[in-house]
Amino acid sequence: MPSRRSEITMTDAELMRFLDEERVLTCASIGPNRRPHLMPLWYLRDGLTLLAWTYGKSQKVRNLEREPQATLQIEAGRDQYGELRGAMLECDVAIERDPDKVADFGRRLTARYTGADPPPEARAGVAKQAAKRVVLRFTPTRIVSWDHRKLGGAGH
């Protein structure tokens, strides 16, 4: 039976829209024991580059300092096979530590997830957190996407 991969692959526009709709990615880095280390992260999109923030002393940051590659997965429609959508992005990773850039990112991330610019007291909290955080910049080197809705109810 021939592969139906090409039938379910998202176009670039569909992928961008999907990444904008979804809110959590799963990041896989390689842990010190050489096993995958999986963590959920909120993110922002800059083209096909995804950005997230996390604590600078976290295990995932130590993993990415040692080996600056990660695989991301974003998925939706888990309840029914015909509704499955997702993307897997193999990425090179850069770590941003500049506190001003991290604070600016934190404000933009907060705005995405709350739907509004943070008020002054929340901005102060974000700035305080930024001193302990870093921004992770995930630049894809390979992308695989799927949208089973394109099958029109056909084929498991």
The answer to the question of residue 80 being in a domain is yes
- What single DSSP character describes residue 55? E
The answer to the question of residue 139 being in a domain is yes
Distance, in Å, from the CA atom of 122 to the CA atom of 18, rounded to the nearest integer, reads 28
Asked if the model's pLDDT at residue 1 lies above 90, the reply is: no
The answer to the question of residue 44 being in a domain is yes
The answer to the question of residue 35 being in a domain is yes
Q: Over the stretch 92-117, which tens digit does the pLDDT of each residue have?
A: 999 999 999 999 999 999 889 888 77
CATH code for position 26 = 2.30.110.10
Q: Over the stretch 37-59, which tens digit does the pLDDT of each residue have?
A: 999 999 999 999 999 999 999 99
The answer to the question of residue 115 being in a domain is no
pTM tops 0.85, yes or no: yes
pLDDT tier for residue 156 given thresholds of 50, 70 and 90: low
The answer to the question of residue 16 being in a domain is yes
Main-chain phi, psi angles of 47, to 5 degrees: 65, -130
Q: Where are the alpha helices (DSSP H) in 4-119?
A: 5-8, 12-21, 59-66, 99-114
The answer to the question of residue 129 being in a domain is no
Angle at 105 between CA 20 and CA 29, to 5 degrees: 70
The answer to the question of residue 50 being in a domain is yes
Structural domain total, the chain: 1
- Token digits for 101? 């850039």
Tell me, what's the pLDDT at 155? Answer: 52
- What single DSSP character describes residue 65? H
Tell me, what's the pLDDT at 153? Answer: 64
**What is the domain extent for residue 15?**
5-96+134-151
The helix/strand/coil state of 84 is coil
Chain position carrying tokens 């002054």: 120
